[in-house]
C-alpha cells in the first residue's frame, strides 16, 4: 500500500505515516519529514514554519510487471537507512537521510539533503540522488517515476505549474502569495513527464495497469497541481543508474504595497491617539 488517499474538495494527498520510521531533517529555517516504510517518501517541507509539500514519492516498474509499485516496504525490503548531520558548523541537527530498498535483482538507494536559509529568509533547498543498481546477471529493464504534490504556503487550490527545459528537466510551481518552487533534474533528463490536476496522476500510478506519462508540460492552473517524471533504463549486470535532482523554494517577503498599507494603518492609529 501507499499513503492513504482521501478525496475531498480542494484537498491534496493526505499522508498517514505509521508503518515505518519518520526521519526528520532540520537545517536552519527548514524541516522536512521522510517516511521509510509503507508509503515511503517525503512530506511536510516546512520553511519558516510554513508547510509546502503534501507528498513526493517514487514508483518503479521492471520488465514483465503489469503495473507500477511504490518504492517502499509494501513490495521491497528496507535493507538499510542512515540519518546524519552534514552541516555541523552551521546547524548540528540531522539534515541528510539515505535509505536502501532491495528487490529481486535490483537495489534502489535514495538520498535527501536539506539546506535551510537564514531565519525569515523564506529560502530552502533539497538535493536528491537516486541510485538504481542491477544486482542480477541479466539486463534489467527498469522504469522509474517521481511523483510530486506540492502545496505552496499550505494551500492546495491556487498553484500554477509548468515544465521547462530543452529537453524538459525543470518543474516550476508558483503561488501568488506563497512563492516559487523550482525542481531541476541535473542528470539525466526524464524521457517522459506530465502535469495534471490532483488526483489524476496518483491514481494512474497506483492502478492495476501500465502507466506511461503523456508529456503534457503545461502550463496548468491555478488549482491543485501535481507532476511526475519518468525515466527508462536498460541496465547491464552490475551497472548503476544515477538520478540527480535539486529543489529550491523561495517565499517572498511582504510586498511593498503590503508594507505601505501597514505603515499607513499605523500612522492613522497614531493620529487618532
Q: How many domains does the chain have?
A: 1
Domain ranges, residue 95? 22-272
pLDDT tens track for 232-272: 999 999 999 999 999 999 998 764 334 333 334 334 433 33
**Which residue in 8, 5, 30, 24 sits closest to 16, CA to CA?**
5
Alpha-carbon distance 83 to 104, whole Å? 25
**Location of C-alpha cell 502550463:** 219
Residue 255 belongs to a domain: yes
Residue 154 belongs to a domain: yes
**Which residue in 22, 24, 184 sits closest to 96, CA to CA?**
24
- Locate the DSSP E strands across the chain: 22-27, 30-35, 41-47, 50-51, 53-62, 69-70, 77-84, 96-103, 106-116, 123-134, 140-150, 159-164, 170-175, 179-187, 192-197, 220-223, 225-235, 240-250
- What's the whole-model pTM score? 0.87
All cell numbers assigned to 164: 521547462
Alpha-carbon distance 149 to 145, whole Å? 13
Alpha-carbon distance 82 to 96, whole Å? 8
Averages of pLDDT over runs of 10 residues in the chain (273 residues) are 33 46 97 95 95 97 95 96 96 98 98 97 98 98 98 95 98 96 98 98 97 98 98 98 98 55 38 40
pLDDT for 266: 38
Residue 3 belongs to a domain: no
Q: What is the CATH number of the domain that holds 168?
A: 2.70.98.40
Residue 15 belongs to a domain: no
Residue 125 belongs to a domain: yes
Residue 12 belongs to a domain: no
pLDDT for 184: 98
Residue 1 belongs to a domain: no
pLDDT for 143: 98
Counting Cβ atoms within 10 Å, is residue 241 exposed (0-12), middle (13-18) or buried (19+)?
buried
Residue 11 belongs to a domain: no
Alpha-carbon distance 234 to 221, whole Å? 35
Alpha-carbon distance 52 to 29, whole Å? 13
Amino acid at each position: 500500500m501507499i499513503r492513504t488517499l482521501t478525496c475531498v474538495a480542494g484537498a491534496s494527498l493526505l499522508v498517514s505515516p505509521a508503518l515505518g520510521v519518520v526521519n526528520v531533517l532540520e537545517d536552519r529555517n527548514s524541516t522536512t519529514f521522510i517516511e521509510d516504510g509503507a508509503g515511503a517518501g517525503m512530506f511536510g517541507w516546512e520553511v519558516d514554519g510554513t508547510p509546502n509539500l503534501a507528498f513526493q514519492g517514487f514508483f518503479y516498474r521492471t520488465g514483465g510487471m503489469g503495473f507500477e509499485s511504490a518504492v517502499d516496504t509494501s513490495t521491497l525490503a528496507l535493507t538499510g537507512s542512515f540519518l546524519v548531520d552534514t552541516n555541523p558548523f552551521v546547524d548540528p541537527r540531522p539534515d541528510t537521510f539515505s535509505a536502501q530498498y532491495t528487490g529481486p535483482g535490483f537495489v534502489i538507494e535514495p538520498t535527501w539533503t536539506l539546506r535551510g536559509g537564514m531565519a525569515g529568509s523564506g529560502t530552502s533547498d533539497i538535493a536528491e540522488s537516486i541510485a538504481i543498481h542491477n544486482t542480477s546477471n541479466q539486463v534489467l529493464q527498469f522504469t522509474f517515476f517521481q511523483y510530486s504534490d506540492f502545496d505552496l504556503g499550505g494551500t492546495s487550490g491556487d498553484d500554477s505549474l509548468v515544465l521547462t527545459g530543452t529537453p524538459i528537466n525543470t518543474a516550476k510551481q508558483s503561488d501568488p502569495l506563497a512563492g516559487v518552487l523550482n525542481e531541476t533534474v541535473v542528470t539525466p533528463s526524464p524521457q517522459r513527464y506530465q502535469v495534471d490536476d490532483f488526483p489524476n496522476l496518483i491514481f494512474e500510478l497506483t492502478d492495476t495497469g501500465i502507466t506511461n506519462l503523456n508529456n503534457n508540460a503545461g502550463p496548468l492552473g491555478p488549482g491543485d497541481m501535481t507532476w511526475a517524471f519518468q525515466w527508462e533504463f536498460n541496465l547491464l549486470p552490475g551497472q548503476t543508474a544515477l538520478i540527480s535532482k535539486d529543489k529550491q523554494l523561495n517565499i517572498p517577503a511582504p510586498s511593498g504595497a503590503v508594507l505601505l498599507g501597514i505603515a499607513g494603518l499605523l500612522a492613522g492609529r497614531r493620529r487618532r491617539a
